Each structure stands twice: as structure tokens, then as C-alpha cells.
Amino acid sequence: MRIGMGYDVHAFGRERKLILGGVTIPYEKGLLGHSDADVLIHGIMDSLLGAAALGDIGQHFPDTDPQYKGISSMELLKQVMNLIEQQGYEIGNIDATIAAQKPKLAPYIEEMRENIADLLKISKNQINIKATTTERLGFVGREEGISSYCISLLKS
């Protein structure tokens, strides 16, 4: 068994969609990034790559490469899963936390879990997603952006 940890952060920006876990969430701001800036999926990808000792998402999908401009992070997660499978691993479980002062994310978590489970071809009970605020502390508390933390377990 192998364990990987992932972290990602993106700042808010205007005229962008807020996409988390492949779910478009109605909100006045979205996240800035080269891809769709799905901070949850980026954290998951980094935790999976870390568990398999395959580097990080910046190595595999550099923000200097125009082919990734505006790409769905769910598509990138598919590619990461292919790498994981090529190494002979399967996912044991994924535990993720999204830190966001606003918007409230609880109504969207089940859809996020379903999206991710379907894409990774695993059971929904292998994925846990939590949302928290930072009690108005730091950049998240000032509503400047969103961060995510993730731990994944891989089995060989």
C-alpha cells in the first residue's frame, strides 16, 4: 500500500465558472488557472501521483503547454488514472477537504463524489469529500480563493 498527499490552491477571478469535483457551482466568481482550475481535482491528482511516486501535476500537465489551456480537470484526472493503472496500482480510498469561506459547498458534495467515482471506476464509498471554512482567517477567509487537501491510498 502507498499513501500520497495532495494540495492545491487557486485565486478567485471574475468571468470564470466555479468548478469543483467536476460540478459547476453557481457563484459570482470562479477560480483562475490555466485549466478549468478545479482545485479539488488538482489536489486529488497530486495525491494519486504522489502515492505512485510519479511527480506532480505540473510535471505532467505544465501550465506553459497550450494543449491544457481551459481543459477540464476531469480529463486530466482520467490521464492520471491511466498512469496509476500502468504502474499496477488501484485506488483504495481518497479523502479530500475543500477550504472555502464561500460559497457553501455541502449541497454539491454528493454529485462531486459521484462524478469522481464514475470517472475513476471505483465505488462512491471509496471517496470522502469534506468542506470547511477557515473562520475568516487567511486568504480563504478573506474570500480570495479556495484550497484543497487530499490523501489517497493506492494498493498494488
Which residues fall in the annotated binding site? Answer: 8-10, 34-35, 42, 56-58, 61-65, 132-135, 139, 142
Do residues 155 and 122 touch, judged by C-beta distance below 8 A? no
Pull the grid cell for residue 58: 505540473
What's the sign of the alpha-carbon dihedral 78, 124, 91, 6? positive
| Residue 7 and residue 43 in contact, taking contact as beta carbons nearer than 8 Å | yes
Q: Residues marked as binding for a divalent metal cation?
A: 8, 10, 42
- H or E stretch at 110: helix 109-120
What are the residues whose beta carbons fall under 8 Å from the beta carbon of 3, sequence distance 6 or more?
Answer: 51, 151, 152, 153, 154
